[in-house]
Amino acid sequence: MRTSTPLCLAAASLSVLALLPATPAAADHGRSEIELSLLGRYTAGAVGVGAAEITAYDAKTRRVFVVNAEQGTVDVLDLRNPRDPRKVASLTTPGANSVAVHDGLLAVAQQAENKTAAGSVAFFDTRTARKLRQVQVGALPDMLTFTEDGRQVVVANEGEAASYCEGAVDDPEGSISVIDVRRGTVRTAGFQAWNGKEDRLRAKGVRISGPGSSAAQDLEPEYITTEKGTAWVTLQENNALAIVDLDRAVVRDIVPLGLKDNSRPGNELDASDRDGKIDIRTHPVKSAYMPDSITHLRDRGRTYLVTANEGDSRDWECHTDEVRVKDMELSPSAFPDAAALRKDAELGRLTVLSDSPKDAEGKYTELRVFGGRSISVRAADGSLVWDSGSELERLIADELPEQFNFDNEENDSFDSRSDNKGPEPEGVTIGEVRGRTYAFVGLERVGGVVAYDLSDPRHPKQAGYVNTRDFAGDVEAGTAGDVGPEGVLFIDAHDSPTRSPLLVVGNEVSGTTAVYEIKS
């Protein structure tokens, strides 16, 4: 392990790691270092049950609103002293999945008790915590956001299936709800226009894979970013992006996100959890990006999208789309070394999409894995501008070699996620620090947040990494610090109680909400 210069200094008892860029690709662009130091954390007192997930901040009241899925509430934290965040209230929000704030108004996305039934969005006053209104939206509202002017709330209704059993298919349609905040009216942008065109979508690279599902059932909105009447919505399991006209509440286009060729230098990955070592190298597989969260920035008059390419599978009653390479019949023409590839130390353990391409005999001609293990920058039309390639895995290998590709459920789990999505970049947010734009990306499995300088969005620079997980602690006992970052929230210096920019991270496994100060 090389010696690194810390980004921040913190108490050793917290096991805070704050590290500099590690990969050659990042170093090629030069360094733009920032410091992230842990100021404080709030602990919900429940581990492994989603007691701290998505967060939102109200600058007027200096309050952070945290989804507590375990309690079915939104916990209200007083952040006037970010070194000691304190819970001051709880909002009753059964089925809460996501929160957003604009100008003193809090919106909460709530799934129904039966997740395939219609969900709802509840509105609260951030000062009084009084519930103002509740409206009905689509099935499984997974994420919501206000438009910049605060006039609309846009909701990603995932419409996730509960069962694919023959005679008992329970797979609602995915949709995007557009709520007029002042009037309380709801319009729905759905995907029915693509029903009957599933083969056409597949041909252009959109993944439609649910057994017997229509396009409207199969397309599953995950996360949204908006700008001037347009919403970009990740369709994670479909490896695609929906572009929505908010004025008309119509899905304008569905854009495939393509595949990353892991046989090319720069796109390497560690593919085995049973080889007992760090082994990041090229393989004859391709990655479906499958982004979870998405945000955007403007640079020189252009809009750029930033995605965290986590990957996600469908593992429901009577159906799973995961398969290990050693259980697949490989085409001898596509994989002449199939016997060697099936070994556990090679690709045998790697989890891939069961609907990867096959030949006429039903033998696999291509291996596609879940998630890009990366972050990407894309143009407004969805075309790829830049991808971090293998940088995230290399960063962890360099700075945390003993904790490489750890799981988030236990500390003694070296290399255990290499066969399935690696560090899993999930949450992403952007913010400006002293005139430079940065992306902050949470790594769901090993933990921590990676920073990238996006001052030139076509050539981002890795700017640092902070991890406040205690690898000597016990995850189940709640003594492992911050584990399983889910939501990543940037607070601008202008709105911050410290007058320095802050980063707030909801950690779903540890049930902690961590507050970091950012300095350049």
Q: Confirm whether 282 is domain-assigned.
A: yes
d(CA 214, CA 216): 5
Residue linked to tokens 């496994």: 509
Instruction: Please write the tens of the pLDDT for every residue from 357-383.
Output: 999 999 999 999 999 999 999 999 999
Number of CB atoms found within 10 A of residue 128's CB: 11
Whether 44 and 512 have beta carbons less than 8 Å apart is answered as yes
224, 256, 225: which is closest to 241 by C-alpha? 256
Domain count, the chain: 1
Please check whether residue 249 lies inside any domain of the structure. no
Show the tokens assigned to 380: 């407004």
CA nearest to 16, candidates 33, 41, 49? 41
Which is nearest to 20 in space by CA: 32, 9, 38?
32
Total-model pTM: 0.93
Residue pLDDT tens, the chain, 520 long: 333 333 332 332 333 333 333 333 333 323 468 999 999 999 999 999 999 999 999 999 999 999 999 999 999 999 999 999 999 999 999 999 999 999 999 999 999 999 999 999 999 999 999 999 999 999 999 999 999 999 999 999 999 999 989 878 899 999 999 999 999 999 999 999 999 999 999 999 999 999 999 999 999 999 999 999 999 999 999 999 999 999 999 999 999 999 999 999 999 999 999 999 999 999 999 999 999 999 999 999 999 999 999 999 999 899 999 999 999 999 999 999 999 999 999 999 999 999 999 999 999 999 999 999 999 999 999 999 999 999 999 999 999 999 999 999 999 999 999 999 999 999 999 999 999 999 999 999 999 999 999 999 999 999 999 999 999 999 999 999 999 999 999 999 999 999 999 999 999 999 999 999 999 8
CA angle 44-72-513, nearest 5°? 30
Helices (H), 143-275: 198-203, 215-218
d(CA 341, CA 333) in angstroms, rounded, equals 14
Closest CA to 174 of 194, 155, 160: 160
Report if residue 323 sits inside a domain: yes
Of 66, 82, 84, residue with least CA distance to 74: 66
In which domain, by residue range, is 279 found? 272-288+315-370
Instruction: Report the length, in residues, of the chain.
Output: 520
Cα Rg of the chain, angstroms? 22
User: Looking at the domain assignment, is residue 428 inside a domain?
Assistant: no
Summarised one tens digit per residue, pLDDT across range 182-225 is 999 999 999 999 999 999 999 999 999 999 999 999 999 999 99
- DSSP secondary-structure letter at 266? T
Confirm whether 421 is domain-assigned: no
| CA nearest neighbour of 405 among 274, 237, 239 | 274
Q: What letter would DSSP give residue 172?
A: P
Task: Sort residue 333 into left (φ over 0), alpha (ψ -120 to 50) or beta.
Answer: alpha
53 located within any domain: no
User: Is residue 115 included in any domain, yes or no?
Assistant: no
On whether residue 325 sits in a domain, the answer given is yes
How many angstroms separate the Cα of 388 from the Cα of each of 11, 181, 198? Answer: 31, 38, 31
- Report the alpha-carbon distance of residue 337 to residue 360 in Å, rounded: 20
End-to-end CA distance of the chain: 25
- Quote the CA–CA distance of 339 and 9 in Å, as a whole number: 49
Q: What are phi and psi of 267, to 5 degrees?
A: -115, 25
Whose tokens are 């560090």? That residue is 423
Q: Which positions ≥6 away from 451 have C-beta within 8 Å?
A: 34, 36, 438, 439, 440, 441, 462, 463, 464, 465, 466
List alpha helices for 57-177, DSSP H: none
Which residue in this structure is represented by tokens 């293990």? 373
Contacts of 227-232 with CB under 8 Å at 24 or more apart are 227/148, 227/296, 227/298, 227/303, 228/148, 230/380, 231/154, 231/176, 232/294, 232/296, 232/305, 232/380, 232/382
Q: What are the pLDDT digits (tens) for 236-291?
A: 999 999 999 999 999 999 999 999 999 999 999 999 999 999 999 999 999 999 99
Q: What are phi and psi of 457, to 5 degrees?
A: -65, -15
Tokens found for residue 185: 């009216």
Question: Counting beta carbons within 10 angstroms of the beta carbon of residue 15, is it exposed (0 to 12), middle (13 to 18) or buried (19 or more)?
Answer: middle
